[in-house]
Amino acid sequence: MKTKFSTSIIFFTLSIVLFSFSKNNIESYQDITSIHLLEIPENVKFILDAKCMECHSNESKPGKSKTKLNFDEITDGSYSNGKMVSKFGKIVKTLGENKMPPKKLLAKYPDKKLTTEESKVLIDWANNQKLILNKE
């Protein structure tokens, strides 16, 4: 009788542990499927490398610009789709208002100024990414 009771307790405990483990795996898997890994076209990458990555990448010095937008985190799947849509929306808004690169940076490094065409390429790319992410 005592053995049957002990076996029942062990079986019950083991069932709870296994059920909890499998449930957590399913939730984690669902979270992973909502991540979109971003590929950047060469023409966009060229502009970003030349004009943006110095302040907005893992290699840039710590600061507000890196915290607000880090292109390395956008491309490596660190952000959920919703957060990426928000980031791309802010890129469109900021570039549309000619707020990037900031005037303070341009006073020191005038070669970082985006041309009208470069700004258009980045805005079109960001808008396109938003559309793609909203469909997923």
Give pLDDT tens digits for 64-89: 887 888 888 888 888 888 899 999 99
Question: Could you tell me where the beta strands, DSSP code E, fall in 1-136?
Answer: none
Digit-coded pLDDT (tens) for 22-36:
444 433 333 333 445
Q: What predicted TM-score, i.e. pTM, was given to this entire model?
A: 0.70
Cα separation values, 103 from 81, 89, 108, 110, 122, Å: 31, 21, 9, 9, 19
Render pLDDT for 2-22 as a digit per residue (tens, 0 to 9): 555 555 555 554 455 444 444
**Domain ranges (residues) in the chain:** 1-33, 42-135
What's the one-letter identity of residue 110?
P
Residues 124 and 41 sit within 8 Å (Cβ to Cβ): no
Residues ≥6 apart with Cβ < 8 Å to 77: 35, 36, 37
pLDDT at 66: 79
**Residue-averaged pLDDT of the chain:** 79
pLDDT digits (tens, 9 = 90+) for 30-64: 333 344 567 789 999 999 999 998 988 888 888 78
Task: For the chain, state the CA radius of gyration.
Answer: 23
